[in-house]
Structure 1
Amino acid sequence: MNLVDQFLTIRKYTESICEPLQTEDYVVQPVEDVSPPKWHLGHTTWFFETFILKPYAANYREYNPDYNFVFNSYYETVGARVIRTDRGNLSRPSVNEIYQYRHYVDEAMTGFLSLPVTEEIKELLVLGFNHEQQHQELLLTDIKYILGNNPLFPIYSAEWKEHEEITNQSVFVSIAEGVYGIGYQGDEFCFDNELNRHQVYLQDFQVSSELETNGAYLDFINAGGYTNFNYWHAEGWDWVQKNKINAPMYWHQVEDKWFNYTYAGLLPINPAYPVTHISYYEAYAFASWKGMRLPTEFEWEVAAQQFNWGKRWEWTESAYLPYPGFSKAPGAIGEYNGKFMVNQKVLRGASVATPEDHGRVTYRNFFHPHLRWQFTGIRLAK
């Protein structure tokens, strides 16, 4: 597939994610971590305009100079921006205007990519493709949060499959003590936080071959998991108490029955589905209740060759830190991952919302311990 086809395929898929939405759905920002869908549409467009068209395309005319302020996410190098918490206040530009903006930039990019481009530009393009695909995942999970916090629990799509039953009996995969290579190795695209490849010594350990299920997590709830401080870190216990947490996100108890919100609306809990929308605090407490632990990200990467993964982001016991020899790229691109390497936990794998070609065993996702609006799950180790 040539660059033009790659670009247009990715751009069209982003818009297809938004097809089930009503206009009002595009504007909502219920919490700081969730961005309005129309902001995602604008920001991914701004990325190509700012980093490709403006510096490299001859005679390109910027669509609207104000959009740099509106759609810049966190790039200090590029200038001032609307703070994240205020994205939901952007009633203007309208949804229609943002789609016009996308069409304008897509047309300019198609013309630009029909000409020969340098290797430097190709690298920026591939980063731009992957950046938009990351926002496709965020779009899906942000839309779920927006609709899932609507008291009417509206259906996003009855066809969108977010769960598969876990039918196999879980066994523990044993890994021998030794020194193992960690990090990306190859010539294809990877994010900078997957580099540099390095050696890590691991004690012998075991990791479960399957994710934990809703049924297992219900046992934790029924055993008083949310009322016994012994299972929790002090910070996690404070989070439970302060926010009155008693179940995973999107779970609702009606009399003695549990339901959860899905893209298909509010449905009864299926005990065979993998538990999801779990914080690190909850994953740790569940593991503690089971007398086990979460794997480190290095244990996960080594063991992942021997189990199926990719349906849920899996919390690890590792802090998000740079690998040995990591260095940030110069300029705005260097702000992409390195500036976030503090106070966050690493998640490994992928989820049902992750684009298929992002499914690298070395992919490092990262979130603060309390967050759970992504498709996060639990795999135990011992």
Structure 2
Amino acid sequence: MKTVKLPNDINFTKNWAEKYSEIRNHSVEICRPLEIEDYVVQPIIDVSPPKWHLGHTTWFFETFILQPNFPGYKVFDEQYNFVFNSYYETIGARVIRTDRGNLSRPSVSDIFKYRKYVDEKMGEFFKSGYLNESLESLIELGLNHEQQHQELLLTDIKYILGHNPLFPPYKKENISKKESKKNPQMINFPEGIYEIGFNGEGFCFDNELGRHKVYLNEFKISNQLVTNEEYLQFIEAGGYEDFRYWHAEGWEWVKQNNARSPLYWHFIDEKWLNYTLRGLEVIDLNEAVCHINFFEASAFAAWKGKRLPTEAEWEIASEHFNWGERWEWTNSAYLPYPGFKKQSGAVGEYNGKFMVNQTILRGSSIATPIGHSRNTYRNFFPTHLQWQFTGIRLAQ
């Protein structure tokens, strides 16, 4: 389905307690199909245990809302700041990311008690006289932060279950948004001066601000994402064995990891299978290819004699094609927009300090919560990562 920009439904006129409860409950619902053992696994550094996500998003509200702004508030556990601080140097010491899977304590039940405690206190806070407009902005950030972690939760859960030798399903029912595939064609855009960046009412992250003009040469962009069938043709043509299509760093990644296919693809009994959230299935050739890193996306584009779009091209063109099925790699580095300034304090660590060695992705994916996508959203990841719901749209 086409993702369109809607008026943001998290604003000052809404019932904050209701919106808070709705978003917080959704995080718990995402975890409901899990067994207790699934909550504590960390297969790689980039994947956090589900229970850590549940604790960290709770810590955000305790640390940034309740402690400094609700007189008389008592923290649930003094150690939790060390356990659930993610990367905020301003807030103090923390468990390093690689060790999150070693946290057998606090237990899953302790973390659900923590969530209940903080949620009850937030309910009291909403009824108090301490809520003001500046805090509403911080609460809005916290809710969008939780939605980001809801997407990471689903992504990490898939990695945890998809690397279990039994390939257990997360859910039996189909939770993906199926696109009706049309004949792919390239949409032409003339050279000229365009504007990109967030503009209007509603929430956005600070890295989207600073709407500005960009000059673009004439370009073309596909109205469709690359499918599994197209990517399989790349594999069968020896795409992973031919260095000519790869960046130097990408070719090193291929050799070091013996890469031969996207993440979750398995060649078993002479056929390609794919681990999905429904379990291990025969690859659907019509689905958009998924779990591709930047190196793979660029190599495929080179093999096709095309390229990846820049983030400016993608944003300008986004009104003319459907998006929202996969996060789409661009050929743009994650850099600040003109006039970008980091905010003071811990909130200023949210985006700005990551503006190096990262590549921009645009759009959203089947894992993105409803209402949490817009065509100015600037997602970013290192070039080698495959575990997010990423795909390919070609340009030339």
TM-score (norm 1): 0.99
Tell me if 1:150 matches 2:164.
yes
- Which string of whole-angstrom CA distances, capped at 9 and with x for unpartnered residues, describes residues 65-120 of structure 1? 10000000000000000000000000000000000000000000011012341111
| Structure 1 unaligned regions, length at least 5 | none
Tell me how far apart the structure 2 counterparts of residues 370 and 163 of structure 1 sit (CA, whole Å): 26
Tell me how far apart the structure 2 counterparts of residues 165 and 57 of structure 1 sit (CA, whole Å): 47
Tell me if 1:98 matches 2:111.
yes
> SS of the counterpart of 2:371?
helix
Identity value in percent = 62
Q: What is the match of residue 192 of structure 1? A: 206
Residue type at the aligned position of 1:39: W
TM-superposed deviation, 1:186: 1.1
Tell me if 1:368 matches 2:395.
no
Tell me how far apart the structure 2 counterparts of residues 164 and 249 of structure 1 sit (CA, whole Å): 20
Which aligned pairs between 1:1-382 and structure 2 lie closer than 5 A?
1-116=14-129, 117-162=131-176, 164-382=178-396
TM-superposed deviation, 1:278: 0.2
Moved more, 353-362 or 25-34: 353-362
> SS of the counterpart of 2:230?
helix
Q: What CA RMSD, in Å, does the superposition of the two structures yield over aligned residues?
A: 0.8
TM-superposed deviation, 1:160: 4.0
Tell me how far apart the structure 2 counterparts of residues 264 and 187 of structure 1 sit (CA, whole Å): 38
Tell me how far apart the structure 2 counterparts of residues 166 and 297 of structure 1 sit (CA, whole Å): 25
* Contact 2:181–2:224 (8 Å) recurs in 1: no
Larger RCO (alpha carbons 8 Å, 6+ apart): 2
> SS of the counterpart of 1:267?
strand
* Contact 2:40–2:50 (8 Å) recurs in 1: yes
> SS of the counterpart of 1:346?
strand
Tell me how far apart the structure 1 counterparts of residues 94 and 191 of structure 2 sit (CA, whole Å): 49
> SS of the counterpart of 2:33?
coil
Q: What is the match of residue 5 of structure 2? A: none
Tell me how far apart the structure 2 counterparts of residues 97 and 263 of structure 1 sit (CA, whole Å): 27
Tell me how far apart the structure 2 counterparts of residues 53 and 74 of structure 1 sit (CA, whole Å): 20
Residue type at the aligned position of 1:288: A
> SS of the counterpart of 1:179?
strand
- Which string of whole-angstrom CA distances, capped at 9 and with x for unpartnered residues, describes residues 266-312 of structure 1? 00001000000000000000000000000000000000010000110
Tell me how far apart the structure 2 counterparts of residues 119 and 187 of structure 1 sit (CA, whole Å): 16
Tell me how far apart the structure 2 counterparts of residues 120 and 165 of structure 1 sit (CA, whole Å): 40
Moved more, 156-165 or 176-185: 156-165
Residue type at the aligned position of 2:192: G
Tell me how far apart the structure 2 counterparts of residues 337 and 63 of structure 1 sit (CA, whole Å): 28
Tell me how far apart the structure 2 counterparts of residues 213 and 164 of structure 1 sit (CA, whole Å): 12
TM-superposed deviation, 1:163: 5.5
* Contact 1:26–1:37 (8 Å) recurs in 2: yes
* Contact 1:163–1:274 (8 Å) recurs in 2: no
Tell me how far apart the structure 2 counterparts of residues 248 and 223 of structure 1 sit (CA, whole Å): 15
* Contact 1:215–1:272 (8 Å) recurs in 2: yes
- Which string of whole-angstrom CA distances, capped at 9 and with x for unpartnered residues, describes residues 106-157 of structure 1? 0000110123411110000000000000000000000000000000000110
> SS of the counterpart of 2:241?
coil
Tell me how far apart the structure 1 counterparts of residues 325 and 128 of structure 2 sit (CA, whole Å): 39
TM-aligned CA distance change 1:336 to 1:53, over 3 Å: same
TM-aligned CA distance change 1:100 to 1:160, over 3 Å: farther
TM-aligned CA distance change 1:17 to 1:160, over 3 Å: farther
TM-superposed deviation, 1:165: 5.0
TM-superposed deviation, 1:52: 0.1
> SS of the counterpart of 1:252?
strand
Residue type at the aligned position of 2:333: A
> SS of the counterpart of 1:270?
coil
Tell me how far apart the structure 1 counterparts of residues 271 and 192 of structure 2 sit (CA, whole Å): 47
Tell me how far apart the structure 2 counterparts of residues 218 and 69 of structure 1 sit (CA, whole Å): 45
> SS of the counterpart of 1:330?
coil
How many residue pairs get aligned? The number is 382
* Contact 1:164–1:274 (8 Å) recurs in 2: no
TM-score (norm 2): 0.95
